[in-house]
Amino acid sequence: MQTTNLKTSLLKPEAALHSFVVEAGDPFVVEITQGQYVRIVDLEGNQAVDTIFYNAHDYADRYSAQDTIREQGNVYLTTGTSLVSTSGNVLLTITADTCGRHDTLGGACATESNMVRYDLCKGHMHACRNSFLKGIQQWNRGMDKRDITSNINFFMNVPVTPDGNLTFEDGVSDAGKYVELRAEMDVLMVISNCPQLNNPCNGYNPTPVQILIWDKNVQ
């Protein structure tokens, strides 16, 4: 099933509380309070932004790809999607999306999967699981490798074939496209801005992204 539900946002970048640029390959961790909005901007196009969301008060309660897919009846994420946690809580809602769909099946690249999928000589290359681990270590709130679970790949194009297989294809995002979410509870957002050089989703060219956060009273 393919979903395209494009919607632009009325929120102005100059009114944002915070603005960050995350370089390709870097981790990024931030808490977002209930009612705040967060926008992820694909600055140069076709970048994959691997993201995990957690209940900010209970890291064991985190984003669940299975529950999110079941609740919305679709494997792709876009405007109107509620991101559901392992405990059945709605963590965030996608309120605007100028890309059209986002992947939550492909998972995060790892040094091990790089070797299996591409070549044994790729084992030295940096991967998203490394960035996730670095991010939670920098956050230093008691999380460890076991807390790196289901993730979303914002802007990444991973079509599901009629026979149920996954394929990694050229990205569908362009420079300046974004996805925006409203926090329905206090959440922790952990990003790995993907450094992957071996599949076409980012045009073999990892690039920076921007993170904007607005106060809940902005509208």
Residue pLDDT, tens place only, 125-140: 567 889 999 999 999 9
Counting the structural domains of the chain, the total is 1
Phi-psi region of 12 (alpha: psi -120 to 50; beta: other; left: phi over 0): beta
Domain assignment of residue 70, yes or no:
yes
Segment 60-66 long-range contacts (CB within 8 Å, at least 24 positions apart) = 60/86, 61/85, 61/86, 61/87, 61/89, 62/86, 62/147, 62/149, 62/150, 63/91, 63/149, 63/150, 63/151, 63/152, 64/150, 65/104, 65/105, 65/150, 65/151, 65/152, 66/150
Domain assignment of residue 7, yes or no:
no
Domain assignment of residue 131, yes or no:
yes
**CB distance 83 to 72 below 8 Å:** no
C-alpha span between 190 and 210 (Å, rounded): 14
What pLDDT score does 207 carry? 94
Per-residue pLDDT, averaged over 85-114, amounts to 87
* pLDDT of 192 above 70: yes
Given pLDDT bands bounded at 50, 70 and 90, which one contains residue 164?
confident
Domain assignment of residue 79, yes or no:
yes
Given pLDDT bands bounded at 50, 70 and 90, which one contains residue 219?
low
Residue that wins the pLDDT comparison between 121 and 163: 163
Domain assignment of residue 8, yes or no:
no
* pLDDT of 20 above 50: yes
Per-residue pLDDT, averaged over 51-55, amounts to 98
Domain assignment of residue 1, yes or no:
no
Domain assignment of residue 84, yes or no:
yes
* Range from 66-70, 105-109, 130-134 carrying the lowest mean pLDDT: 105-109
Task: Work out the widest C-alpha separation in the chain, in whole angstroms.
Answer: 51
Per-residue pLDDT, averaged over 184-213, amounts to 87
Domain span at residue 141?
A: 16-214
* pLDDT of 120 above 60: no
Domain assignment of residue 9, yes or no:
no
Given pLDDT bands bounded at 50, 70 and 90, which one contains residue 119?
very low
C-alpha span between 98 and 128 (Å, rounded): 24
pLDDT, averaged across the chain: 88
Given pLDDT bands bounded at 50, 70 and 90, which one contains residue 158?
confident
Per-residue pLDDT, averaged over 50-78, amounts to 96
The model carries a pTM of 0.91
